[in-house]
A and B are shown apart, each in its own frame.
Chain A
């Protein structure tokens, strides 16, 4: 059974048209993350939540925002996507009780910007 679910799996949007990516988890992990990954690069952390505490990485563009309405769900909003935002967006979860914050990833949303 899928433990970290991301929707949609593929998203095509137009330059400047807002888009929302979603993530849900059935693991009851208290930490959730959003990563951006481009080809042949390491995943780049955009945001993370520790319980309800939100943390924004210093170099995450203002164009990106996130919401976590409850433990199970997390959203990534891209207000005005640019061509450079085309990437794979990965959601992950972790918990200290689960292998010392070993991360569980969703299948990702591949974003195309036209």
Chain B
């Protein structure tokens, strides 16, 4: 079965850190760029970051630049998002999302998400 499964979310204090993980299965992971997209409670979708299939290229939203780092381990079929210097406004469900093979563009497969709550 083709799927993505996120983990690592939880309750963290402002200024804290977490590492979010996304386990991929059922497809050739290294052939796809991968993304993180977040959704604050009751709000819309916000693209956070992208990493190329090889891991050599990354892009991120200005709102998380210098605080969030995307990475991947193709040998383990794992995607990661290291989130640090967390703010209350980072509270959201974080989805990992796959880009179609050979492109960076849209998101053709999504995980169920992991909730990050930033609160004192």
A binds B: no
B positions within 8 Å CB-CB of A = none
Residues of A whose CB lies within 8 Å of any CB of B are: none
